[in-house]
Amino acid sequence: MRTVFNTDNKDIYKRRLCFAAMFVAAAVLQNTSGLIPEMFGARAMPLIPAAVCVAMFEREISGTLFGAFAGLLWDMSAPSGISFNAVMLAAVGLACGSLITYVMRNNLVTALLLCFVSAVFHLVCYWMKTYIFGGDFKGAVSLLTFYIPSALYTLLWLPVFYFSVRAIMKRFG
């Protein structure tokens, strides 16, 4: 009798299930008001470091798909349901996975660099979509008082996800 899952690949399924649960937990933390305190008006976006860390360990294809999954979780609570976050986090997953595969080493310093660049990229693109392309040209203050501080506040979540993903990879890798 043949089984549906190959017994050699059980750890892959367990690992990816753990990652999916981690993304759901990060989405609940991010999208539920009051669970993560705001610091000086800036909000943390833990789905960005979660997507970066998983992409660093899973590489390009899985990183892209997990980034798209994280973005879809984010888009479920976004005011405009145009899948902006899914596309952006898929691009972040592809870029981070490719950079780790071909150019960089996988360590905490690299994760901090990639997370900061990814958060700034995502938030500046969102700011441009909202204020520049949206027709409201009074958004320069919000870039400096909300979006850039939010990117810095998001970095505080990176060690939590980096060491969690590394532990999952050691256990099920």
Model's pTM, two decimal places?
0.90
Q: Is 111 part of a structural domain of the chain? A: yes
Tens-place pLDDT, residues 30-75: 999 888 888 888 899 999 999 999 999 998 999 999 999 999 999 9
Q: Is the pLDDT of residue 137 over 80?
A: no
**pLDDT number for residue 78:** 80
Q: Which domain holds residue 34?
A: 7-172
Q: 66 lies in a domain?
A: yes
The count of structural domains within the chain is 1
CATH number at residue 136: 1.10.1760.20
Query: Is 65 part of any domain?
Result: yes
In a domain, 2, yes or no: no
Residue 138 lies in a domain: yes
pLDDT digits (tens, 9 = 90+) for 23-35: 999 999 999 988 8
Do the domain assignments include residue 1? no
Mean pLDDT, the chain, whole residue set: 90
In a domain, 27, yes or no: yes
Res 110: pLDDT: 97
pLDDT tens, 69-101?
999 999 998 877 688 999 999 999 999 999 999
State the SS3 of the chain: CCCCCCHHHHHHHHHHHHHHHHHHHHHHHHHCCCCCCCECCECCCCHHHHHHHHHHHHCHHHHHHHHHHHHHHHHCCCCCCCCHHHHHHHHHHHHHHHHHHHCCCCCHHHHHHHHHHHHHHHHHHHHHHHHHCCCCCCCHHHHHHHHHHHHHHHHCCHHHHHHHHHHHHHHHC
